[in-house]
Amino acid sequence: MLTSLRVAPRPVALGRVLFAIGALLTCYEGGGFLNHLQKDRITTPVSDWLPQAADVSLAAWFLTMAVACVLLALGILAPLSALTIAAGNVLLMATDQQLYSNHRFFLVVLCLWFAIARADRAWAVRAKVRRDAGDGLVPWWPQLLLVATLSACYLFAGLSKANPEFLSGDLIASLSPDWVPAQATAWLTVPTEIAIGLGLWWRRTRRPALLLGVLLHVSIVALLGAPLVFSAFALLCFASYPLVWTWPTFPAGPEDQAEAAAIQRSNVA
């Protein structure tokens, strides 16, 4: 039953585009760190038997990642592009301990789900040049995995911050302008992230949770330093927002069928 449910393709297609832009920014950030390590910074290899930072061609790595992200955004070879982005970021994390981050790991997991989500069935070059037989709907279960990953990310981000060090506000104070009430912000962050993580699962709380999520990410980008890193992370998270916003009722409702039929007609035209 779960794996036979099908939904309209546009929400996950929108998510694919947001995800590809977020992935490109995340790869740009990673390429910057790799560049520093290859120039003059002290390295901390993960293991002697894994490739080191110096072994990776920065130009080739970034070109591959950039092309894969653009292809994914356009909906060309989307599964292969998503898997390429995942492999490239696993390689990056394997070279040096300084290149690991939860954001990068989150990116890799989402790549796996986007690779199987058939996110190129709408708003994609593939959808324009190749017509698929069938109802035009896409399987819902990969979208469930995307939303579950997002939910776990928010939930455990909140739980991991429920500690005296974070709640002291010192970390936020070190990242934000002086006028930001750091300790109050820290105390507010924990329940906010937990509420978003849990709120994605119930019909009545889904859309409020998404609005809270948008406010959270906008405030992070606006108040904390490193706008590139936090904008990239916001886009990776926002990639699953359309799936939550349009969380279906089962079996696929008439609006899903109508949207799929409209997309098939536009692809034929």
Partner 1 sequence: MLTSGLVSSWRDRLVAGIVVALFLVPAVILLAGPKPSRFGFQMYSGYGMVSASWEDRSGGRHEVELTDHVANDRAEVDWTETLPEQLCPRFPDAVEVQVRRTQPGTDQVRTVSC
Shortest approach of partner 1 to residue 261 CB, angstroms?
A: 25
Contact 250, 8 (CB under 8 A): no
Instruction: Count how many Cα atoms sit within 13 Å of the Cα of residue 214 in the half-sphere of its side chain.
Output: 8
Q: Which is nearer to partner 1, 203 or 268 (CB)?
A: 203
Residues 6+ apart with CB under 8 A from 42: none
Q: Which is nearer to partner 1, 28 or 156 (CB)?
A: 156
- Give which of 149, 141, 28, 12 is closest to 75, Cα–Cα: 12
Shortest approach of partner 1 to residue 215 CB, angstroms?
A: 17
Q: Which is nearer to partner 1, 124 or 196 (CB)?
A: 196
Residues 6+ apart with CB under 8 A from 68: 81, 82, 84, 85, 88
Shortest approach of partner 1 to residue 71 CB, angstroms?
A: 26
Instruction: Count how many Cα atoms sit within 13 Å of the Cα of residue 87 in the half-sphere of its side chain.
Output: 10
Rg (CA), the chain: 20
- Give which of 134, 173, 156, 164 is closest to 267, Cα–Cα: 134
Per-residue tokens: 169: 């506000």
Shortest approach of partner 1 to residue 159 CB, angstroms?
A: 6
Contact 12, 242 (CB under 8 A): yes
Helix pair 10-39, 58-74: axis angle to 10 deg:
170
Shortest approach of partner 1 to residue 31 CB, angstroms?
A: 11
Residues binding partner 1 (CB under 8 A): 1-3, 5, 33-34, 36-37, 41-42, 44, 96-102, 105, 109, 141, 144-145, 148-149, 151-153, 155-157, 159-161, 163-168, 170-171, 201-202, 250
CA distance 264 to 60: 38
Shortest approach of partner 1 to residue 255 CB, angstroms?
A: 20
Q: Which is nearer to partner 1, 89 or 264 (CB)?
A: 89
Shortest approach of partner 1 to residue 198 CB, angstroms?
A: 11
Q: Which is nearer to partner 1, 25 or 73 (CB)?
A: 25
Residues paired with 45 in a beta bridge = 96
CA distance 176 to 153: 23
Q: Which is nearer to partner 1, 30 or 136 (CB)?
A: 30
Q: Which is nearer to partner 1, 57 or 97 (CB)?
A: 97
